[in-house]
């Protein structure tokens, strides 16, 4: 449940998926900076195959749909992005758990990459398949949308200074991204943020509260158990037919469990006497 008051001015906990995503972004940033100093040629090759380019994606480099989200340009940009991720990631992880946050970030980044790449082929507002995009903001925008949906009226201190409700902060962020998109100053980058926000909205709206992996596992075991029940009922029917041919009558309940005629009929929910 959302808190009734603003979050403290102290730094939030640095752990779990929030820490993992931030550490991964920082590790890639410093590794590329070091490689660009020691072996600039190799660094350029890695960047060429890691940045998001819709044209390259359609030619098989589908990993770019995720790798782009860990490549950040500029110290101020990554500092601003990671600080934002720290504050909102902590809030979401505390409410929904580590696995859910990992899945939300991945869904926002990948979904944003897919949507932006598809729109780039329409060539609207100067977009083109050769456009290049990078940065964690695609994934972060999805997290921001989730915060607005789950904690819309939550007030907190943004970067220790500005006290603002989550829904207003996200609205400002979306309007800025939309303005950049329409001004064509950084059309593809702004599109990635908007597409990431849309992906984050869809994930938060429709994904299980404990994550897609948990939901898939739950669905798998539900289907598997249903199959086993069907097999048991089918075997029970065959056995009933066989016993009738032997002039004997046996009874099974609706789940294929044998009912002993010499004992009091048990409750079908009592699984202690299941064969």
Domain containing 31 — which CATH number?
1.20.1540.10
Residue 11 has phi, psi (to 5 degrees) of -65, 140
Q: Tell me: do 121 and 226 sit in the same domain.
A: no
Q: Tell me: do 110 and 231 sit in the same domain.
A: no
What is the pLDDT confidence band of residue 177, given thresholds at 50, 70 and 90? confident
Domain extent at residue 133: 16-207
236 inside domain: yes
Q: Is the dihedral of CA 91, 95, 97, 103 positive or negative?
A: negative
User: Residue 154 and residue 166: Cα distance in Å, rounded?
Assistant: 6
Last residue of a domain, one of 158, 190, 207: 207
Q: Tell me: do 119 and 233 sit in the same domain.
A: no
69 inside domain: yes
The pTM score is 0.73
pLDDT at residue 101 above 90? yes
Residue 209 has phi, psi (to 5 degrees) of -65, -20
Q: Tell me: do 130 and 171 sit in the same domain.
A: yes
> Which tokens is 142 given?
């999805």
Closest CA to 193 of 21, 41, 68: 68
Q: Tell me: do 223 and 105 sit in the same domain.
A: no
Q: For residue 56, what is the DSSP state?
A: H
> How wide is the angle at C-alpha 246 spanned by C-alphas 241 and 247, nearest 5°?
95
Calculate the alpha carbon distances from 226 to 90, 251, 274 in Å: 38, 21, 16
* Residues 254-274, mean pLDDT to the nearest whole number: 60
111 inside domain: yes
Q: Tell me: do 80 and 109 sit in the same domain.
A: yes
pLDDT at residue 57 above 90? yes
Q: Tell me: do 141 and 234 sit in the same domain.
A: no
pLDDT value, residue 108:
96
Calculate the alpha carbon distances from 108 to 195, 202, 216, 249 in Å: 8, 9, 19, 60
- Contact between 50 and 72 (Cβ < 8 Å): no
Average pLDDT, the chain: 82
**Counted domains in the chain:** 2
pLDDT at residue 1 above 70? no
18 or 186, higher pLDDT: 18
Q: Tell me: do 187 and 243 sit in the same domain.
A: no
Last residue of a domain, one of 207, 236, 257: 207
Helix runs in 131-165, H state only: 137-150
Q: Tell me: do 243 and 179 sit in the same domain.
A: no
Lowest pLDDT segment from 15-29, 45-59, 165-179, 216-230: 216-230
pLDDT value, residue 241:
74
Q: Tell me: do 243 and 147 sit in the same domain.
A: no
First CA to last CA distance, the chain: 44
Backbone torsion region of residue 226, taken as left when φ is above 0, otherwise alpha when ψ lies between -120 and 50, otherwise beta: alpha
Q: Tell me: do 28 and 122 sit in the same domain.
A: yes
Q: Tell me: do 236 and 198 sit in the same domain.
A: no
Helix 137-150 vs helix 75-96: crossing angle, to nearest 10: 40
Last residue of a domain, one of 153, 175, 207: 207
């Amino acid at each position: 449940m959302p808190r009734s008051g603003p979050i403290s001015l102290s730094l939030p906990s640095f752990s779990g998926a929030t820490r993992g995503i931030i550490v991964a972004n920082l590790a890639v940033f410093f590794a590329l900076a070091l490689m660009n100093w020691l072996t600039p040629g190799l660094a350029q090759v890695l960047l060429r195959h890691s940045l998001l380019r819709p044209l390259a994606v359609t030619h098989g480099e589908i990993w770019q749909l995720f790798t782009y989200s860990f490549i950040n340009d500029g110290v101020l940009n990554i500092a601003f992005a990671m600080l934002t991720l720290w504050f909102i990631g902590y809030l979401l992880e505390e409410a929904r758990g580590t696995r859910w946050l990992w899945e939300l970030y991945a869904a926002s980044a990948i979904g944003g990459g897919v949507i932006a790449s598809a729109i780039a082929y329409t060539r609207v507002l100067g977009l083109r398949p050769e456009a290049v995009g990078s940065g964690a903001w695609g994934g972060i925008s999805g997290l921001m949308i989730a915060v607005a949906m789950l904690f819309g009226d939550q007030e907190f201190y943004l970067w220790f200074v500005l006290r603002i409700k989550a829904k207003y902060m996200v609205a400002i962020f979306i309007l800025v991204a939309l303005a950049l998109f329409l001004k064509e100053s950084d059309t593809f980058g702004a599109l990635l943020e908007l597409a990431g926000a849309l992906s984050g909205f869809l994930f938060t709206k429709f994904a299980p509260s404990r994550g897609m992996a948990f939901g898939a596992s739950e669905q798998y075991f539900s289907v598997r158990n249903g199959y086993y029940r069907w097999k048991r009922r089918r075997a029970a029917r065959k056995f009933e037919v066989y016993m009738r041919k032997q002039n004997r009558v046996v009874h099974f309940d609706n789940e294929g469990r044998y009912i002993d005629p010499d004992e009091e009929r048990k409750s079908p929910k009592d699984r202690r006497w299941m064969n």
